[in-house]
Structure 1
Amino acid sequence: MRPNLEPDFLLAKSREKPWRGAYTLVGHTVAVVEAVTTLVDVLGDRLISQFGLQCSLSHLRGTARLAAYLHDWGKANDHFQMVVRKNRNPLESPQLIRHEVASVLLAYSYREWLQQCEGNFYTALSAAGGHHLKFGGNAKKGDTGEIGEIRSGSGSDRIYLYTDTKNFKALLKYGVKTLGLPRELKLPRKRPTCWTVTEIKTLQNEVLEAFCDWPHDTVFASVVKALLVAGDSVGSAIPPTGLKIKTWIKQELSTILDIKEIQQVIDSRLGGKELLNFQINLGNSSKRVTLARAGCGTGKTLGAYNWAKQYAVGGKLFFCYPTTGTSTEGFLDYVHDEISSVLLHSRADVDLELATTGEEAEAGDNQEDELAKKLESFQTWGTKVSICTVDTVLGLQQCNRRPLYCFPAIAQSAFVFDEVHCYDERLFGGLLRFLEVVKAPILLMSASFLPWQLEAIKKAVGEPIEIIPGPKELEKLPRYRFNLVDTPDWQRVEQELTNKGKVLWVCNQVGTAIDIYREAKSRGLNALLYHSRYRYEDRVKHHRDVVDAFKKDEPVLAIATQVAEMSLDLSATLLVSQIADPPGLIQRLGRLNRRYSGHALDAFFYPDTKTGFPYSKDNLKAGKEMIEAFTGEVSQADLAAWLENNPNQENPDKETVLFNTFRCWQMYPAPCRKAGHTITALLEQDLPQIEKMSAKLLPRYTVPLLLTKDVKEWPRHTKGYLIASADKWGYSEELGAYEI
């Protein structure tokens, strides 16, 4: 029996929420079509050139507009309308199919009519189906190959479609008026008003076969999808500026870099000094893709801003770091208060509050909701320089939400990728795919590029690249003396501190670092501890404490884990380190004698008996061999040469969801990085405080914990985070999380 509902008034959003935009299906569709149209018109030919598209701007515009027109058609069904009217609890009684799947099936039923407007119908159809990133797969299962899921527990074997209502007919008339569709509606079958489960399955198979036969252009289809997600997000969550969507988008995207602003950043860092030849050469690079091969402390970052004077003017700039710590430091050290800029990673609001005020953050409550993600991502639309983790850009290819919301900024930017040698095989594979697809100016920076990496990069770019070496006079300086010992030499550490030195001690495991810290405190030493297993706000504080302590004219011992390899911009006078893999050791050495003292300084290395985590037996063997290869004074050039002559060949994983050549219709989130040994969780002892806090602040209380066998048994917070038992994990602001 057809449900009793007001079918002439179709909603896209709930009217009970303080909604500032249109909440009817027609009104929301109009807003999204206008947003997508404006994005294409403002970005213009930059979209074509940035992604090397082989189509006209008119064809891209027509397809994107068609996708926007179709994306919410499926909301015209009884299950969705009951949910949005609060007459149906989707947790207790889920919709039979998701509304975007219904959009695909409904639009497919109208295909003969829809194919008569400008644009590629099947490209638009795939974008409409994927705009909520649940099409053909999901984050947990990965690729399912299904045109949506038919859910059990809906309490119904069919859905009713409101295609004969006044509201839906108004949607069709809007298509005639705006997209140039024919006034006469001809359909291959009777206008659908109801689908049973059997009919849904039949339609799903038909659409799947059509997608398999669809002669798609992978990059073109991916750009249309990204435009729709961005357009739908701004159509749904534009801030209350009082401006129309069209005006707001134009204002934000027209905010671009000029050469004076970049020069201002350079001048403020130079402090009256001259650029090095290496930095000048970066600014004079004649190739679209440039590689800066230079060691730590050689001025790569300043050189990158000089490169940006040639390649980022007239657009925007994304400066991508491997970790949240390094992106925060890059923001504070270079562009904060210099250029309109934004620090963008998943916890940027915490960093900025604590780093700029020095005050303790207010306690947080919950995971960022979708609106908060969108609003934060919109900052990049009107920002000239975005300092971010590499995931913010490369995550676009894996259909991560934040990069998709940032797409209009990404589409008009130049890119700097720093510390490329630290990427795992999945992240490096994503970079290669990005180089294949994106035709923007790109600068890759690394202490070394292995022969196989260089070949892979050249092949991906497909055109000549320029490799600019670092300043030889700096890289050949004798910075280090290697000492291989069986156990740590505490006497040498205490002697260095007595001489007002600054000691960096790097351990391979958090537990080991905590043990060393306790030993140092028992000896009465001025010791600081820094690792990844803190609540995020505590980690920010420990990071800042270490960086600030190394700037003072006082002795200090900083005990850290791998976070020291990239996140700490400091210059130690003595390094003590467990043996790790060669790239990791080179990164650690980059913190020793960083600001050259005039002579080589000691580095002491001792064994790690805990093989297998985080380094394999082969990793540790290679690290020991590198240390043993040098008996005299060692320079950064020596280390780079050794690494390039002893390459560890890897197999980069170039599989992406967006820009996927084989199943171009799919759209679901996938990880950017290889699975690690940790999982982000909440601590049981923090739950009483967390329950009183707002959703946006919950990340402040998350902690990366070891991924153990019993993790499947951990309870889960209402916002998705696992909860670690207080019986197994203790915590203090001083030590961080520790196993009991």
Structure 2
Amino acid sequence: MKSNLTTLEPNLLLAKSFQKGTWKGSCSLAGHTVDVVNAVTALIENLGQVIITQFGLTCSWENFLASARLAAYLHDWGKANDHFQMVVRGKRNVMKNPQLIRHEFASMLLAWEYREWLQECPNADFMTALAAAGGHHLKLGWDSHKRVANDELGEIRDGSGSAHLYLYTESKNFRGLLKYGVKVLGLPTELKLSKKPSTEWTVAEIKNKRQDILNAFLKDWQVDSNFVSVIKVLIIAGDAIASALPNTNFKINDWIKKQLSSKLTEAEVQQVVNQRLNGQEMRPFQIALGESRSRVTLARAGCGTGKTLGAYNWAKRHAVDKKLFSCYPTTGTSTEGFLDYVHDQVDSILLHSRAEVDLKHLMATGDEDDAATKLESFKAWGAKVSICTVDTVLGLLQCNRRPMYCFPAIAQSAFVFDEVHCYDNRLFGGLLRFLEVVKAPVLLMSASFLPWQLEAIQKSVGEPMEIIEGAKELEILPRYQFHLTENPDWERVTQELEKTYALPNGEHTCGKVLWVCNQVSTAIAVYEEAKARGLNAVLYHSRYRYQDRVEHHRAVIESFKANKPVIAIATQVAEMSLDLSATLLVSQIANPAGLIQRLGRLNRRYIGQSLDAIFYPDSKIGFPYSKGDLDSGQAMLETLTGEVSQADLATWLERSPQQGKPDKETVLFNELKKWQAYPAPCREVGHTVTALLEQDKLTVDKVTAKELPKYTIPLLANNKVDKWERHRKGYPIAPSSEWAYSPELGAYLIKGGDEN
């Protein structure tokens, strides 16, 4: 069939939508291609040897640079088709008539037709460039309808309204792209192809070409997966920064060089250490961390003994002339770590999915980061210290967007991973794979490491590592006395709130109770009972709009700083995100690791004697803990009698027969999935789904994508969720007939709902 292309207005190939009078430069396919090639070139020129070392690549500098530049050159070739060009001109409604294939899939097919010429690119690996170009929107090997991975190279969509895709390969603009490849990449001046490139594809032809490429990937492609993975991420980061550029004479090379050259100095790290020490002496284990020469170091120390300060002392040796990523298990702990240590001390950034909300609500000075710039997604590139959730780093291996955008910073950093014992099997497996792949300085910190965990870590590191024990004089202090009851004792709680304790420093503190429940509904019921009894109570759990959760988090922290009695009722969020010291702990029985974390909030700042911890059963077996979890937790509590120390807890846990099953399956750095690129979860699938409330629908329909996280809530996942309406950003919308909400209590099921 003869090509029947629509006349283009303006008469050039576009890479993105435009407004009248602003279509030149980066809006054009040629202009955007130049921007991305320049960005990737600048990234490699500033990071190349560092990346080769950090990821243990065996390629030559020339091979690395040429392959990445070729991928950048090819990544948007597929936009030279009639479906895409009509979309960016507003003449095709993709909701009614989606493009027959995605443009990056078309890039692969088109490059395949030109492969005889492209394979002559000096020093470049064509198949690597092809995979990186096709995966730069993270849809390669992914079924968007079923939302699962598959073995297909790209989707052919139903409902496009066309059985053909017309190509602008004979246009002046596309010929200009070919000439650019000759000039900049050193491709042959003469375009020698055994078959004339297509000007249109039928669905059958697309399927045949797809199978040819897939066969080449599976049968003939012999390449290091680390090499391919790094180039994939570089293309995504380069494309993202080039797409964010203002349509001006902005010099991308100069900006990239300035951001990436910003690195930690010893004096800056020392400033953080001095500020936190506040004139006190450093503990021996903190000094030992600073003296460790191993690339990977483990710090085994209890809650509240000063691991974080020790980590910054470690950074004086291992993070100087680098950037530093300090990774916490939750958004709450990362926010606290940012505010307590590096905010206003060193050029730093708080990085997690809701960081802007936290900073807006938490920073009393109102001195927010310069988040309104067009390059706000890339603040980590210039930051010397990034405080983040562990997902921000380990998500790189699972093709999560934020860490891929942060890659230029990750590629030249040292890393601290805190509370490692709290990682689930998938997160811990991701950490193991990270240790195998990334040859950077790493500090792992935890209250305890189980024997199987130590063995797995050592195997992944593959070289000598040092294990440094915490302050034994603090860990052997008698902090707790366990009491198991069938029901919670409200009279004991009331008595505690009437107590006053003399502290070792001569000051006094009143009674402060932390009550931890296993379900949100239980926590709300306990909170309402406490209020009915006239107690000064605060409630904290995960099922708030995020902006409200931030307020509750701070309310709990501030109430424990104030010298008046208070009872804080919380769920598992208390296990890591609350830096407070209670004088009485009341808790439902949970798994051993969770109980140890909860105990880390009791007598955290030791008052000179052991304090009571009261535990009672959870009748809701299976949510969120299995019967085995609850039985193991009860066995620990029954075994440890009398006065109990942190050392006793760690010893019990390390002697338990528990064996984890870490899931090391990742998308990147995977020998079996070298051509694929799609996002996968960092953590095990939980009991919740991130949703919006129907009562917020009118509001969220008007807010920007950046503001949307303020309104998200993790709600219970059940068989009803699939039937809920979806927001345009994909979030399910919880109907008001099922879920109610108040800023005080958070989201709760309408009476009669089933929490299980």
TM-score by length of 2: 0.94
Query: C-alpha distance in 2, partners of 1:314/1:115?
Result: 38
Query: C-alpha distance in 1, partners of 2:618/2:729?
Result: 38
- Does the alignment pair 1:399 with 2:427? no
> Which amino acid in 2 is paired with 1:272?
G
Query: C-alpha distance in 1, partners of 2:134/2:701?
Result: 36
Shift of 1:188: 2.5
- Does the alignment pair 1:142 with 2:148? yes
> Which amino acid in 1 is paired with 2:420?
V
> Which amino acid in 2 is paired with 1:389?
T
Shift of 1:665: 0.3
> 1:445–1:241: structure 2 CA closer, same or farther, 3 Å change rule?
farther
Shift of 1:240: 7.7
Contiguous gaps of at least 5 residues in structure 1:
362-370
Answer whether contact 1:529 1:560 (CA < 8 A) is retained: yes
Aligned to 2:19: 16
Q: Out of 183, 192, 213, which is 1:177 matched to? A: 183
Query: C-alpha distance in 2, partners of 1:237/1:649?
Result: 46
Shift of 1:238: 2.8
Q: Show CA shifts across 1:121-164 (max 9, x none).
A: 10010000000000111575322111111111111111111111
- Does the alignment pair 1:474 with 2:474? yes
Q: Out of 194, 197, 206, which is 2:203 matched to? A: 197
Aligned to 2:217: 211
Query: C-alpha distance in 1, partners of 2:589/2:692?
Result: 31
Q: Which moved more, 1:133-142 or 1:521-530?
A: 133-142
Q: Which moved more, 1:20-29 or 1:293-302?
A: 20-29
> Which amino acid in 1 is paired with 2:233?
A
Shift of 1:21: 5.9
Q: Out of 624, 644, 651, which is 1:641 matched to? A: 651
Q: Out of 273, 298, 301, which is 2:305 matched to? A: 298
Query: C-alpha distance in 2, partners of 1:103/1:700?
Result: 37
Query: C-alpha distance in 1, partners of 2:321/2:703?
Result: 42
Q: Out of 133, 136, 160, which is 2:138 matched to? A: 133
Q: Out of 4, 27, 33, which is 2:6 matched to? A: 4
Q: Out of 162, 168, 180, which is 1:162 matched to? A: 168
Query: C-alpha distance in 2, partners of 1:375/1:535?
Result: 27
> Which amino acid in 2 is paired with 1:124?
A
Q: Out of 545, 553, 566, which is 1:543 matched to? A: 553
**Matched residue SS, 2:155:** coil
Answer whether contact 2:143 2:155 (CA < 8 A) is retained: no
Q: Which moved more, 1:282-291 or 1:711-720?
A: 711-720
Residues 246-285 of structure 1: matches in 2 within 5 Å?
A: 246-285=253-292
> 1:89–1:533: structure 2 CA closer, same or farther, 3 Å change rule?
same
Aligned to 1:712: 722
Aligned to 2:504: none
TM-score by length of 1: 0.97
Alignment RMSD, CA only? 1.7
**Matched residue SS, 1:669:** coil
> Which amino acid in 2 is paired with 1:665?
W
Query: C-alpha distance in 2, partners of 1:546/1:535?
Result: 17
> 1:373–1:610: structure 2 CA closer, same or farther, 3 Å change rule?
farther
Query: C-alpha distance in 1, partners of 2:437/2:662?
Result: 16
Aligned to 2:112: 108
Q: Which moved more, 1:239-248 or 1:510-519?
A: 239-248
> 1:19–1:267: structure 2 CA closer, same or farther, 3 Å change rule?
farther
> 1:373–1:514: structure 2 CA closer, same or farther, 3 Å change rule?
farther
Residues 535-684 of structure 1: matches in 2 within 5 Å?
A: 535-684=545-694
Q: Which moved more, 1:323-332 or 1:18-27?
A: 18-27
Answer whether contact 1:76 1:161 (CA < 8 A) is retained: yes
> Which amino acid in 1 is paired with 2:322?
G
Residues 290-439 of structure 1: matches in 2 within 5 Å?
A: 290-357=297-364, 375-439=375-439
Aligned to 2:460: 460
Q: Out of 95, 99, 115, which is 1:95 matched to? A: 99
Shift of 1:358: 8.8
Query: C-alpha distance in 2, partners of 1:298/1:21?
Result: 56
Q: Which moved more, 1:19-28 or 1:587-596?
A: 19-28
Q: Show CA shifts across 1:407-456 (max 9, x none).
A: 00000000001001111101111111111100000111111111111111
Query: C-alpha distance in 1, partners of 2:178/2:83?
Result: 21
Q: Which moved more, 1:4-13 or 1:197-206?
A: 4-13
Q: Show CA shifts across 1:94-125 (max 9, x none).
A: 11111111110111111111111121110010
Provide the identity percentage: 67
Query: C-alpha distance in 2, partners of 1:20/1:484?
Result: 73
Query: C-alpha distance in 1, partners of 2:377/2:648?
Result: 42
Shift of 1:690: 2.8
Count, aligned residues: 730
Residues 226-237 of structure 1: matches in 2 within 5 Å?
A: 226-237=233-244
Query: C-alpha distance in 1, partners of 2:430/2:376?
Result: 24
Query: C-alpha distance in 2, partners of 1:20/1:343?
Result: 36
- Does the alignment pair 1:496 with 2:513? no
> Which amino acid in 1 is paired with 2:332?
G
Q: Show CA shifts across 1:521-555 (max 9, x none).
A: 11111111100011111110000000011111111
> 1:328–1:20: structure 2 CA closer, same or farther, 3 Å change rule?
farther
